[in-house]
A and B are shown apart, each in its own frame.
Chain A
Amino acid sequence: MLVEILFWSFSAVLTGAALGVILARNPVHSVLFLVLCFFNAAVLWLLIEAEFLAIVLVLVYVGAVMVLFLFVVMMLDVNIEQLREGFARNAPLGAVIAAIMVVELWYVLWVRRLGIELPGATAPLPEGYSNTGEIGAVLYTEYVWPFQLAAFVLLIAIVAAIALTMRQRPGLKVQDVAKQVAVRPQDRVRIVNIPVEREP
Chain B
Amino acid sequence: MQWIAAQWQSLVGVWVALPYFVQVTVQIVIVMMSVIIAVALLTLAERKVIGWMQLRLGPNRVTFFGLRLLRGWAQPFADVFKLLLKEIIVPGRSSRLLFLLAPLIVLVPALATWAVMPFSPEFVLADVDAGLLYVLALTSLGIYGIILAGWASNSKYAFLGAMRSAAQMVAYEIAMGFALVGVLMAAGSLNLGEIVRMQAGGPGSWNWLWLFPLFIVYFISGLAETNRAPFDVAEGESEIVAGFHVEYSGAAFATLFALPEYANMILISALTSVMFFGGWLSPFQGYLADDALLAQPGFFWLFLKICFFLFVFLWVRATFPRYRYDQVMRLGWKVLIPVTLVWIAVEGVLAWLRVGPWAA
Nearest residue in A to B128 (C-beta to C-beta)? A51
B170 contacts which chain A residues (CB < 8 A)? 64, 67-68
Q: Which among B98, B130, B148, B163 is the interface contact of A51 at CB below 8 angstroms? A: B130
- Tell me, yes or no, whether A7 is within 8 Å of chain B by CB: no
**Of B57-65, B131-139, B227-235, the one with at least 4 CB within 8 A of chain A:** B131-139
Which of A71, A75, A175 has most chain B Cβ within 10 Å?
A71
* Nearest-CB residue, chain B, relative to A53: B130
Query: Chain B's nearest CB lies how many Å from the CB of A134?
Result: 10
Q: Is the CB–CB distance between A63 and B137 below 8 Å?
A: yes
Does B130 lie within 8 Å of A71, measured CB to CB? Answer: no
A74 x B144 contact (CB < 8 A): no
Q: A68-B170, A71-B163 are in contact. Are A62 and B133 (CB under 8 A)?
A: no
Is B133 in contact with A71, judged by CB distance below 8 angstroms? Answer: no
Given contacts A28-B151, A59-B136, contact A67 B143 (CB under 8 A): yes
Tell whether B354 is near chain A: CB-to-CB under 8 Å. Answer: no
Name the B residues within 8 Å of A63 (CB-CB). 136-137, 140-141, 143, 173
B86 at the interface (CB under 8 A from A): no
CB contact under 8 A between A130 and B129, given known A55-B137, A71-B167, A177-B327: yes
Q: Is the CB of B163 within 8 A of A52?
A: no
Query: Is B50 an interface position by the 8 A CB rule?
Result: no
For the complex, give the distance between the alpha carbons of A63 and B148 in Å. 14
Residues of A within 8 A of B141 (CB): 58, 62-63
- Asked whether, in the complex, the Cβ of A70 is within 8 Å of the Cβ of B147, the reply is yes
Asked if A133 is at the interface (CB within 8 A of a chain B CB), the reply is yes
The residues of B that contact A58 with a CB separation of less than 8 Å are 137-138, 141
Q: Which residue of A lies closest to B177 (CB)?
A: A59
How far is A186 from B242 in the complex, measured between Cα atoms in Å?
36
Instruction: Count how many chain A residues have C-beta atoms less than 8 Å from C-beta atoms of the other chain.
Output: 24
A35 interfacial contact with B, CB 8 Å: yes
Residues of A within 8 A of B151 (CB): 28, 74
Q: Is the CB of A62 within 8 A of B140?
A: yes
Bound-state Cα–Cα, A147 to B195, Å: 26
A56 is an interface residue with CB less than 8 A from chain B: yes
Taking a contact as CB atoms under 8 Å apart, the answer to whether A131 and B129 are in contact is yes
B contacts with A, residue count (CB < 8 A): 27
Chain A proximity of B335: nearest CB distance (Å):
10
Q: How far is the CA of A32 from the CA of B147 in the complex (A)?
A: 11
Give the residue of B133, B144, B327, B330 whose beta carbon is less than 8 angstroms from that of A55.
Answer: B133
Partner of A59, one of B128, B133, B330: B133
Known: A74-B151, A132-B129, A177-B330. A67 touches B144 (CB 8 A): yes
**Chain A positions within 8 Å of B252 at CB level:** none
Q: Which of A59, A70, A75, A130 is close to B140, meaning CB atoms less than 8 Å apart?
A: A59
Per the bound structure, the CA–CA distance linking A62 and B147 in Å amounts to 13
Tell whether B166 is near chain A: CB-to-CB under 8 Å. Answer: yes
Which residue of chain A lies nearest to B174 when distances are taken between CB atoms in the complex?
A64
CA distance A69 to B305 in the complex (A): 38
Scoring B residues 252 to 291 as 1 if CB is less than 8 Å from chain A, else 0, what string do you get? 0000000000000000000000000000000000000000
Of B98, B133, B140, B159, which is within 8 A of A52 by CB? Answer: B133
Instruction: Please tell me if the beta carbons of A133 and B173 are within 8 angstroms of each other in the complex.
Output: no
In the bound assembly, the distance between CA atoms of A63 and B141 in angstroms comes to 6
| Residues A67 and B147 in contact, CB atoms below 8 Å apart | yes
Of the candidates B128, B137, B140, B330, the one having the most CB atoms from chain A within 10 angstroms of its own CB is: B137
Given A58-B137, A67-B144, A74-B151, is A52 in contact with B130 using a C-beta cutoff of 8 Å? Answer: yes
- Chain B residues closer than 8 Å to A32, beta-carbon distance: 98, 148
B192 within 8 A of A: no
Name the residue on B nearest A58 (C-beta): B137
Give min CB distance, B266 to chain A, whole Å.
21
Q: From residue A53, how far is it (CB to closest CB) to chain B in Å?
A: 10
Chain B residues with CB below 8 A from A35, complex form? 144
Asked if B175 is at the interface of the complex by the 8 Å CB criterion, the answer is: no
CB distance from A118 to the nearest CB of B (A): 27
In the bound complex, residues from chain B placing their C-beta under 8 Å from that of A51 are 128-130
Q: Which 9 A-B pairs have the closest CB atoms?
A: A63-B140, A59-B137, A58-B137, A55-B133, A130-B129, A132-B130, A55-B137, A71-B166, A132-B129
- Chain A positions within 8 Å of B, measured between CB atoms, are 28, 32, 35, 51-52, 55-56, 58-59, 62-64, 67-68, 70-71, 74-75, 130-133, 175, 177
Q: List 29 A-B contacts (CB under 8 A).
A: A28-B151, A32-B98, A52-B130, A56-B133, A56-B137, A58-B137, A58-B138, A59-B133, A59-B136, A62-B137, A62-B140, A62-B141, A63-B136, A63-B140, A63-B141, A63-B143, A64-B170, A67-B140, A67-B147, A67-B166, A67-B170, A68-B170, A74-B147, A74-B159, A130-B129, A132-B130, A132-B133, A132-B190, A177-B327
Report B's interface with A, CB cutoff 8 A.
Answer: 98, 128-130, 133-134, 136-138, 140-141, 143-144, 147-148, 151, 159, 163, 166-167, 169-170, 173, 190, 326-327, 330
- Taking A28-B151, A62-B141 as given, write out 18 further A-B residue pairs in contact, using a Cβ cutoff of 8 Å, ordered by the A residue number: A52-B133, A55-B130, A58-B137, A62-B137, A63-B143, A63-B173, A67-B143, A68-B170, A70-B147, A71-B166, A74-B147, A74-B163, A131-B129, A131-B130, A132-B129, A132-B190, A175-B326, A177-B330
